[in-house]
Copies of this chain bind each other. A is one copy, B any other.
Amino acid sequence: MTDIAKHNRMANAIRFLAADAVEKAKSGHPGLPMGAADIATVLFTQFLKFDPTRPHWPDRDRFVLSAGHGSMLLYAVHYLLGSEDFTLDQLKNFRQIGALTAGHPEYGHGAGIETTTGPLGQGLANAVGMAMAERMMAANFGDDLVDHHTYAIVGDGCLMEGISQEAISLAGHLKLNKLIVIWDDNGISIDGKVSVSDSTDQIERFEASGWQTISIDGHDPAAIAAALATAQEAERPTLIAARTTIGFGAPNKAGSEKVHGSPLGKEELEATRKALGWSHAPFEVPSDVLDAWRIAGLRSGQARKEWEKRLASADAEIRGEFERRIRGDLPTGFRQAMQNLKQKLAAEKPTLATRKASELVLETINAAVPETIGGSADLTGSNNTKTSQTRAITPEDFSGRYVHWGIREHGMAAAMNGIALHRGLIPYSGTFLVFSDYARPAMRLSALMKQRVIHVMTHDSIGLGEDGPTHQPVEHYAALRAIPNLNFFRPADVTETLECWELALEARETPSVLALTRQNLAALRASYESENLSARGAYVISDCNDEPQVTIFASGSEVGLAVEAKAELAAGGVQVRVVSVPSFELFEAQSEDYKASIVGNAPVRIAVETGIRMGWDRFIGTDGIFIGMTGFGASGPYEELYRHFGITREAVVAAARAKLAKA
Contact = CB atoms under 8 A, between A and B. Distances in A.
Interface string A370-383: 00000010111110
A162 B437 contact: no
Contact of A470 (B173, B198, B448, B632): B448
A378 B192 CA distance: 9
B636 A97 contact: yes
Contacts of A582: none
Interface in A173-193: 173, 189-192
Interface string A186-213: 0001111010111111111101111000
Contact of A104 (B207, B440, B468): B468
A423 to B, nearest CB: 22
A116 B472 CA distance: 14
Interface in A383-423: 392, 404-411
A304 B410 CA distance: 43
B104 A635 contact: yes
Q: Which of A68, A172, A192, A208 has the most CB of B within 10 A?
A: A208
Contacts of A378: 157, 160, 189-191, 197
Contacts of A625: none
A408 B483 contact: no
A106 interface: yes
Interface in A615-663: 615, 617-618, 621-622, 630-632, 634-637, 640-641, 644
A401 to B, nearest CB: 16
A119 interface: yes
Contact of A162 (B166, B209, B445, B631): B166
A208 B197 contact: no
A424 interface: no
Contact of A448 (B103, B483, B617, B632): B632
A468 B106 contact: yes
Nearest to A161: B407
Contact of A210 (B199, B468, B471, B617): B199
Contacts of A163: 162
B406 A198 contact: yes
Contacts of A641: 97
A484 B102 contact: no
Interface string A353-379: 000000000000000000000001011
Contacts of A202: 208
Contacts of A116: 470
A478 interface: yes
A96 interface: yes
Contact of A615 (B106, B205, B471, B614): B614
Contact of A481 (B190, B392, B614): B614
Given A407-B156, A474-B484, A482-B479, A466 B27 contact: yes
Contacts of A150: none
A118 interface: yes
Interface string A434-466: 110110110011011000000000000000011
Contacts of A205: 205, 208-209
A106 B157 contact: no
A104 B445 CA distance: 31
A470 B126 CA distance: 15
A74 interface: no
A172 B199 contact: yes
A28 interface: yes
B481 A406 contact: no
A339 B35 CA distance: 49
Given A437-B440, A466-B28, A160 B169 contact: yes
25 contacts: A27-B465, A96-B635, A97-B635, A97-B641, A103-B471, A103-B635, A106-B468, A117-B470, A161-B438, A165-B165, A172-B200, A190-B381, A191-B376, A199-B210, A200-B208, A204-B204, A204-B207, A205-B209, A475-B483, A478-B614, A482-B614, A485-B631, A614-B614, A617-B617, A621-B621
Given A160-B169, A189-B378, A197-B404, 12 more contacts: A162-B165, A192-B404, A197-B405, A201-B207, A202-B208, A204-B207, A437-B441, A444-B475, A448-B632, A478-B479, A484-B632, A618-B622
**A-B pairs, 10 with minimum CB distance:** A162-B162, A197-B406, A97-B636, A118-B470, A165-B165, A102-B635, A204-B208, A475-B482, A617-B617, A205-B208
Interface of A: 25, 27-28, 68-69, 95-99, 102-104, 106, 116-120, 156-157, 160-166, 169-170, 172-173, 189-192, 194, 196-205, 207-210, 376, 378-382, 392, 404-411, 434-435, 437-438, 440-441, 444-445, 447-448, 465-471, 474-475, 478-479, 481-485, 612, 614-615, 617-618, 621-622, 630-632, 634-637, 640-641, 644
